[in-house]
Amino acid sequence: MKLQIASLKTLPEIRPGDDLAPLIRDAALREGKEIGASTILVLAQKIVSKAEGAMVDLRTIQPSEFAVCWARQWQKDPRAVELVLRQSRRIVKMDRGTIVAETHHGFVAANAGVDQSNVPGDEFAVVLPTDPDLSARRLRLGLNCGAVIISDSFGRPWREGLVGVAIGVSGMDAVVDLRGSCDHEGRPLSATIVARADELAAAASLLMPKAGGVPAVLIDGFEWERNEGTARSLVRRPELDLFR
């Protein structure tokens, strides 16, 4: 297998209401890159959120007393803290100025995915798409490509640094269950489940620098079984989660 990973560098600044599919297609044509039935498109979550209007004017947020107290303790914007709380269905940890929360999708992320970087002005924040899998499916059908992965940068317990992970998937299984198959030595595998969509999101993130303005990457040469898929399959069920 030989992978080809290429970034799309000429996408315009995305605004609420933009139709991403033709913008992506036009950028690929300008750059002489083909989006075909075997292409996996990896998109940064932020442009999907922007196009879908998942931006919040902090001036419209009335923070709760709890948000005000916590923000004062850690020199944070209480409106942003309140937005994080509203985007959360469970607080995992609040300490040292950081909120680790489970979003309404089931993802565990710092600040519930609320982000103010690469957003025009100081009064706006971007939140995660309401249904990233549905967003990915619409883009896949609009572009007639093989699969779409919507990625975001997450930190990881016990390890430094951020890495790209999949929060929306269409056209492929997000995880590949190898239990029941055998390793190279013929030993049966009993616990191996591969987070395939996360691996592809991480590979694409190498060409998506934080300050580079490159929110779209094309992956060709990867072989996979076509299925609708969902990023929710990457979320470990509570009864199997040893850290809850």
- How confident is the chain (244 residues) per 10-residue block, as mean pLDDT? 92 94 97 96 96 95 97 95 96 93 94 88 92 97 97 91 96 86 76 90 92 89 93 91 82
The structure's pTM equals 0.94
- Are residues 142 and 30 part of one domain? yes
Would 243 be classed as within a structural domain? no
Would 118 be classed as within a structural domain? yes
- Are residues 203 and 93 part of one domain? no
For residue 241, the model assigns a pLDDT of 85
Would 229 be classed as within a structural domain? yes
- Are residues 155 and 227 part of one domain? yes
DSSP string, the chain: ---EEEEE--PPPP-TT--HHHHHHHHHHHTT----TTPEEEEEHHHHHHHTT-EEEGGG----HHHHHHHHHHT--HHHHHHHHHTEEEEEEEETTEEEEEETTS-EEEGGG-B-TT-SSSSEEE---S-HHHHHHHHHHHHT-SEEEEEEEEEETTEEEEEEEEEEEESB-SSEE-TTSB-TTSPBPSS-EE-HHHHHHHHHHTT--TTTT--EEEEES----B----GGGGSPPGGG-TT-
- Are residues 112 and 16 part of one domain? no
Would 244 be classed as within a structural domain? no
- Are residues 11 and 82 part of one domain? no
Tell me the pLDDT tens digit for each residue of 128-155.
999 999 999 999 999 999 999 999 999 9
For residue 7, the model assigns a pLDDT of 96
For residue 44, the model assigns a pLDDT of 96
- Are residues 142 and 182 part of one domain? yes
- Are residues 76 and 39 part of one domain? no
Residue that finishes a domain, picked among 95, 125, 155: 125
Tell me the pLDDT tens digit for each residue of 50-77.
999 999 999 999 999 999 999 999 999 9
For residue 117, the model assigns a pLDDT of 83
- The tally of domains found in the chain comes to 2
For residue 26, the model assigns a pLDDT of 97
CATH number at residue 70: 3.90.1660.10
- Are residues 209 and 182 part of one domain? yes
- Are residues 13 and 96 part of one domain? no
Would 240 be classed as within a structural domain? no
CATH number at residue 133: 3.30.1330.100
- Are residues 71 and 44 part of one domain? no
- Are residues 150 and 118 part of one domain? no
Would 174 be classed as within a structural domain? yes
Would 103 be classed as within a structural domain? yes
| Structural domain of 102 | 56-125
Q: Measured between alpha carbons, how far is 134 from 41 in angstroms, rounded to an integer?
A: 15
Residue that finishes a domain, picked among 104, 125, 146: 125
